[in-house]
Structure 1
Amino acid sequence: MEQYTFNKIEKDSEIPYGLLLLADETTEAIDQYIFKCNIYLLHNGTENIAVMALYKNNDTELEIKNIAVIESYRSKGIGSILMDKAKEIARDNHYEVLSVGTSDTGFQQIRFYEKNGFKKTGIRKDFFLENYPSPIYENGLQMRDMILLAHHITE
């Protein structure tokens, strides 16, 4: 059985852009939110295998701004481990809602969030057209809208 460790990185630590770029297109896009987030790393021994950035939207809502797993660890339950950790952090800090946004073309991501108890709550029309300088494609389709999902934290 693999031995994973999970920790929050210190504010003055180096930002793990290599991992964050697995889930976001550019460092410029990441820089729009990352300095206001708490960043968490999941390790297997000394190897960083996953990252999660959480942002406090308000006193009741914590948002997942970035979540990524390196390719060699995908489809092994690592994302669900991160989801459980995010829910635990939200619960321990008395948030009512854990939210996330993903591309309308991210069919696998949407299924993943729904499998982990998230429900669709809205759409940000033209988000990817307005916030990225060049078109971005996923699953052969141009990303346009952001799908918003939320998980309600229960004690």
Structure 2
Amino acid sequence: MVRFKNRWLLVEFIPLDQTKPAPSRLDSKIIWAALRDSIQENFGDFGWGAVSHSLTVKYFSPTTNICIIRVAREQHRIARGGVTLIKAIDGVRILPFVIDLTGTIKHAQLSAIEHNRKTIARYRARAGTSSTYHDSYDQFLETSSREIEALRD
């Protein structure tokens, strides 16, 4: 029996237009469609044919704008190239930042949880609140950690 080996991309989508509100909420389907369009535009039908069977968006957090993408090990360079070449998603200009590329879902989960904690710490520092202050971000960290840990291959 052959095991399919995957690579996991942890990506943050940084919105460039902070003054203009997003026309719609991002979700996994919209990100997948934008990634498909980017790969087809930049790598053609060959590139899309290579990654289409294994490319999935497993997780997206609209609060921290991070996303976990799974792709087959042999085609991870095409997928990463497609991610970095995305200019806009659903009319909103974004800057994709690949945080981590891992070989297992467990390491992607750990990186995502750690990145969420760092992002929330930056939000709190910007707001001037102490680390002992309890707010809605505590609940977000708890629920997002549970969601990320529940992901399966």
TM-score after normalising by structure 2: 0.32
Q: Which of structures 1 and 2 has the larger relative contact order (alpha carbons within 8 angstroms, sep 6+)?
A: 2
Specify which structure has the higher proportion of strand. Answer: 1
TM-score after normalising by structure 1: 0.32
Specify which structure has the higher proportion of helix. Answer: 2
CA radius of gyration, larger in: 2
